[in-house]
Chain A
Amino acid sequence: MSNTAISVSDLSKKYGDQVAVSHATFEVPLGTICGFVGPNGSGKTTTMRMLLGLITPTGGTGEILGESIKHPEKYLPRVGAMIEGPAFYPALSGKENLNVLATLGGFSTDRVQGLLEQVGLGDRAKSKFKTYSLGMKQRLGIAAALLPNPKLLMLDEPTNGLDPEGIQEVRALLRSLANDGTSVFVSSHLLSELELISDYLVMLRKGEVVFTGKMSDLMLSQQPVIIAKGANENDLTLLLAIAQKAGHHATIRDGAVHVQGPAEWALEFNRAAFNAGITLSQLTPQLPNLEETFFEMTGDK
């Protein structure tokens, strides 16, 4: 039996001349949480749709739980998914919406109330979907994805609209599912959240995979960063020039200069800034987080 939950090779999707996904190749091991990141329009949702049999790839192959994506009927009974936000019938209650999906998939409707309680909707089960807040709709979408007791859970932006407490609950839920052996493939814009929970990462940029592998490998491969700010805002361009002249890759982001380089170079940088007449208000060497790495690799900022 395959030890990968998802395995795709050269997966591509074109709409006319426009390439949505280009030769994507990656693997997600069983029983892990894999973050799926990329800027808007990078092809995340298109990839997920191809994996779920909703759209047909124009090239490449893929396997989900050991079955080819050409035969979604062989693996979808073991897959739970929420793609592009929760979509339900507004005039039906949350519980009835899940009953519809349970009946459709041939699952027992006895599980429905328990799932609603698991996602914190137990007391609003009989309210119509149209009366739900965005966060409640999101929770219902997660409950629907859990209906088949999935071996693989694919969630597209599951924390959209959730309050901090809700985000924390989803994080705990995903971790506990992974601990029980469920593989989780999750896309999110909240990179700090993904950094906390993901074991693996797939990063897309303009339809192409720019990184796939262990999260720890990605972070280790990244150069430390020195963040510097001058007392005067106009100093930023000068600081940028100093760093670049010294042969370091540097960018201006969030009102500070981010310089790739070892922590020891901070001393030299400080001295060069002083010589240029700049008084630094901040000089912080740090390891990059996922967000910084993301911007670095996707060139999004």
Chain B
Amino acid sequence: MWNVAFAELRKLRRPTLFFGTMGAVVFFSALFSSLLFLLIDSPQGNSDRGRMVGREVLGLATGGVQGFSSVGGFLGIIALCVFAAQTAQEYTYGTLRNLLVRQPGRLRILLGKFIAMKLFALIMIVLSAIVSIGASVILAPGAKVSTDLWFGADGRHAIFTTFINVTVSVIGFGTIGMVLGLLLRSPISAISLGVLWLLIVENLLIAVKNSWQKWLPGAQLQAIASGGAPSGRSAGIEYSHALLVGGIYVAIGATIASFLFVRRDVAN
């Protein structure tokens, strides 16, 4: 299993994939956090969907991680794309047969790949946390936001819990990407279906009937990243509910995909 993980890391560290993904993470983390402070007085709002996050909220112990928490859903989309592409490409390139000849334990292949991709996602999250908190610290004085509570005991606790929540959410999104990659066996199909569902279909369904959001997988994972969202797209979803429903979706998807991966003939 560890051999599979190390082999997968060799693929994940190729410069175009690694630096391209990390570049996108840095850009969007800086953007999400900067807008919170740069548009603090804007009547159009300074957060997602025109939501207003005022100075009093940003001045709380959780203020330093507001940007990081907001970018969590976006990190999830990136993870979904990376996990889906890395899994499905083995079918499109025909490299799966090489992998299985060198490591016939199919579950080991899956677990090894998953470990490597989780590590990749963790690097993404750490980088995002550094950039978004760093941008917040730099921009807070200009926006007349107090940072006194950000790094106290409560502030450090908020950083830790947000980091855990974003990590759980991103891994959840990534697992869904991996499941789609295994089921569809094509990176383009897996990524387009995943992104289309999360960004378009779920939003349309929520617009039609708001109560459906409590049962949609993307909304649950986004709510986990926000620590149970008090407002925004996933407003009203409790953290424990999101964790349970999101966990069930991920577990069922992973079980079906693993079963098919283990049983299916490799004929391409």
Contact = CB atoms under 8 A, between A and B. Distances in A.
Contact of A55 (B4, B14, B95, B266): B266
Contacts of B201: none
A147 B3 CA distance: 15
Contacts of B7: 100-101, 103-104
A148 B103 CA distance: 12
Given A84-B94, A90-B93, A101 B265 contact: no
A88 B93 contact: yes
B265 A55 contact: yes
Contacts of A55: 265-267
Contacts of A103: 3, 6-7, 10
B103 A104 contact: yes
Interface string B94-106: 1101111111110
Contact of B102 (A91, A92, A101): A101
Contact of B11 (A83, A87, A92): A92
B69 to A, nearest CB: 34
Size bracket, chain B contacts: 20 to 34
Contacts of A144: 98
Contacts of B266: 49, 54-55
Given A53-B104, A104-B4, A96 B10 contact: yes
Given A72-B104, A99-B10, A101-B102, A49 B267 contact: yes
B10 A91 contact: no
Contacts of A49: 97, 265-267
A181 interface: no
B102 A89 contact: no
A92 B14 contact: yes
Interface stretch (A2-10, A73-81, A172-180): A73-81
B212 to A, nearest CB: 40
Given A55-B265, A103-B7, A91 B101 contact: no
Contacts of B3: 103-106
B99 to A, nearest CB: 6
Contacts of B10: 92, 96, 99-100, 103
Interface in A82-124: 83-85, 87-92, 96, 99-101, 103-106
Contacts of B101: 52, 54, 76, 79, 81, 83
B103 A105 contact: yes
Chain B interface, DSSP helix/strand/loop, else mixed: helix
Contacts of B17: 91
A160 interface: no
Contacts, number: 77
Chain A interface, DSSP helix/strand/loop, else mixed: loop
B94 A54 contact: no
Contact of B16 (A79, A88, A91): A91
Nearest to B6: A103
Interface string B202-240: 000000000000000000000000000000000000000
A223 interface: no
Size bracket, chain A contacts: 20 to 34
A56 interface: yes
A45 to B, nearest CB: 9
A49 B101 CA distance: 10
B21 to A, nearest CB: 14
Given A73-B104, A103-B3, A87 B265 contact: no
Contact of B97 (A54, A79, A147): A54
A21 B101 CA distance: 21
A91 to B, nearest CB: 6
A100 B10 CA distance: 6
Nearest to B108: A73
Nearest to A92: B14
Contacts of A89: 11, 89, 93, 95
Nearest to B265: A55
Nearest to A129: B93
Contacts of B6: 103
Contacts of A91: 14, 16-17
Nearest to B99: A104
A100 B94 CA distance: 15
Nearest to B95: A87
Interface core residue of B7, B93, B101, B105 (most chain A CB under 10 Å): B101
A289 to B, nearest CB: 33
Interface core residue of B102, B105, B266 (most chain A CB under 10 Å): B102
A92 B10 CA distance: 9
B105 A73 contact: yes
Contacts of A90: 93
A160 to B, nearest CB: 14
Interface in B1-29: 3-4, 6-7, 10-11, 14, 16-17
Q: Which 3 A-B pairs have the closest CB atoms?
A: A87-B94, A55-B265, A105-B102
Interface of A: 49, 52-56, 72-73, 76, 79, 81, 83-85, 87-92, 96, 99-101, 103-106, 144, 147-148
Given A55-B265, A72-B104, A87-B98, 13 more contacts: A49-B97, A49-B265, A49-B266, A52-B97, A53-B104, A87-B97, A90-B93, A99-B10, A101-B98, A103-B7, A104-B3, A104-B103, A148-B102
